[in-house]
Amino acid sequence: QKEVEQDPGPLSVPEGAIVSLNCTYSNSAFQYFMWYRQYSRKGPELLMYTYSSGNKEDGRFTAQVDKSSKYISLFIRDSQPSDSATYLCAMTGPTDQAGTALIFGKGTTLSVSS
Amino acid sequence: DGGITQSPKYLFRKEGQNVTLSCEQNLNHDAMYWYRQDPGQGLRLIYYSQIVNDFQKGDIAEGYSVSREKKESFPLTVTSAQKNPTAFYLCASRTRDSSYEQYFGPGTRLTVT
DSSP states of A17-50 as a string? --EEEEEEE--TT--EEEEEEE-TTS--EEEEEE
Nearest to A101 among B40, B48, B106 (CB): B48
Residues 35-74 of A with CB under 8 A from B: 36, 41-46, 49
Distance from CA of B30 to the nearest CA of A (A): 13
Binned at pLDDT 50, 70 and 90, residue B42 comes out as confident
A8–B90 C-beta distance less than 8 A? no
Taking alpha carbons only, the member of B77, B60, B59 closest to residue B68 is B77
Which pLDDT value is given to residue B1?
Answer: 58
User: Contact A18/B78 with Cβ under 8 angstroms?
Assistant: no
Find the radius of gyration of the CA atoms of chain B: 13
pLDDT at position A66, please?
A: 94
Q: If pLDDT is split at 50, 70 and 90, which confidence band does B99 have? A: low
Write out pLDDT tens, residues B45-88. 999 998 899 999 998 999 999 999 999 999 999 999 899 999 99
pLDDT (tens place) for every residue of chain A, 114 residues total: 678 999 888 999 999 999 999 999 998 888 889 999 999 989 999 999 888 788 999 999 999 999 999 999 999 999 999 999 999 999 987 655 444 568 899 999 999 999
Residue A100: what pLDDT? Answer: 53
Q: What residue type is assigned to position B7 of the chain?
A: S
- What 3 state SS string does B52-66 have? CCEEEECCCCCCEEE
Closest by Cα among B80, B86, B94, B107 to B21? B107
pLDDT exceeds cutoff 80 at B28: yes
Q: Which of A56, A13, A9, A14 has its CA nearest to residue A35?
A: A56
